[in-house]
Every structure is written in structure tokens, then in C-alpha cells.
Amino acid sequence: MDKSFFRSLFSPELEAPIFIEGLPGFGNVGKIAAQMLVNHTHAKRFAELYSPFFPDYVIISKSGICRPPRYEFYAASTGNPHFIILTGDAQPSLEDVTAHYQLCDEILDLAEKHGSRFIITIGGVPTPSQEREIYVAATSDNLAMKYMEKGAIIYGKGRIMGATGLLLGLAKNRGWEGICLLGATTGLRADREAALSVFNFLTRSFETDKKS
């Protein structure tokens, strides 16, 4: 395998799905929030991404069954709006900068093929405080304002690392719109509470959008 490849499980029928990313990272906020959304929206896994940029090990289940690390794409088409939700086992090494750029573009290609033009990336951000703030960065002033009015704090600290930042930036370069939501977390351990905060913020936000 010298290139990434997608394994298609079924072909979902989606209308202008919102593309949501939650991968392993700080406090695992993104990955846990994405899994909550998969459960909440009864999303079905429709594609897997295998890549030579992923770590060179296999993952072994408790019953001893192996599989290579992968990204998983879930489709939710029963509610409104539709969603594509991306989660996965591991990100490429932070040092492999080119890998990050390449994977992000392959992922955006897939989402675009299914009609996505709006992206929401989810991650964690370390804070010393105990508050459960949600921070937002966006592709435009309007969007940043909109989510600020919903209760998020503008993230003005300079950088967002890895897929959570890069997917948003590269999507913007393609003319998409989107936001990044960062849940404040105090530790490096999996932080279910921070993930729950982001999940609740997101689902409330979708409800309000539908009513307006």
C-alpha cells in the first residue's frame, strides 16, 4: 500500500450533508463527541479509509482479532440535516506534515462527492480552569458571530493543530464554509464531559437552526 484507499461499504443517499470530524486528539474530545453523534443520529458506517500514513501497527480486539488502523465514515440520512461523520483510530504522526495535507484533501474529496459544503471539526483545547467553555473558529466573520451568539467563545489564540485545524483551512480554500468547535479540557486523559459539552452544544445548535 503506497497510497491511501477508501473501502466502500454501501452508497448512502445524502442531501447536502454537514461533514463532521472528530478524531483522536487532546482529551479525545473530538473522537468521543463524534461517537456520541453517530449514536444520536443512528448513522451507519459506509466507508473506511486505510492509509500508509497511519501508524505501522495493527489494532487487536479483546478477543484477539486484528485489523489495520483506519478512519471510518458514517452517514446519517434519517434526520434533518443529513450528516457525514468522520472518526478513526489514530492520526498520522505530527511530524509527517505532508501526510496530513494529503489525507485531509482526500477526505474532503469524498465528502464533496456526497454533496458536503459545510464542515464542523471538533477537538479539545487545554485550559487550567474548570469551566466547560466551547471555543469556535470559523471560515468567515458571520459564522464566528453566529456561533458566538449561540454561546461559544471566539478562539483567537493563533493556531489549531492537526486534522481539526487543517480540514477547516483546506475546506475554506475550496470555498466551503465551516467552523471548528474546541471543548475546554483540563487533562490529557479521555475527557467524556468535555466531549458531552460539545455534543450538547452542537445538537442544541442544530435544533435552533431548524426552527429559524
Chain residues that interact with a copy of itself, rule: CB under 8 A? 1-2, 7, 50-68, 92-102, 104-105, 136-141, 144, 148, 154-162, 165-166, 168-170, 172-173, 180
Q: Which is nearer to a copy of itself, 53 or 206 (CB)?
A: 53
Query: Is residue 184 within 8 Å of 194, Cβ to Cβ?
Result: yes
Instruction: Look up residue 189 and give its three cell numbers.
Output: 486523559
The answer to whether 91 touches 51, Cβ cutoff 8 Å, is no
Whole-number minimum distance, CB 208 to a copy of itself, in Å?
20
Kind plus residue range of the DSSP H or E element containing 48? strand 44-50
CA atoms within 13 A on the CB side of 160: 26
CA distance 96 to 54: 10
To the nearest whole angstrom, how small is the minimum distance from the Cβ of residue 140 to a copy of itself? 7
> Residue 131 CB, nearest distance to a copy of itself (Å)?
18
Of the pair 40, 146, the CB lying nearest a copy of itself is at: 146
Residue 19 or 54 with smaller CB distance to a copy of itself = 54
Nearer to a copy of itself, 154 or 188 (CB): 154
Comparison of 4 and 200: residue with beta carbon closer to a copy of itself:
4
Return d(Cα 212, Cα 210) in angstroms, integer. 6
Q: How far is the CB of 115 from a copy of itself (least distance, A)?
A: 21
CB 32 within 8 A of CB 53: no
Shortest approach of a copy of itself to residue 14 CB, angstroms?
Answer: 24
Compute how many other C-beta atoms are within 10 angstroms of the C-beta atom of residue 124: 28
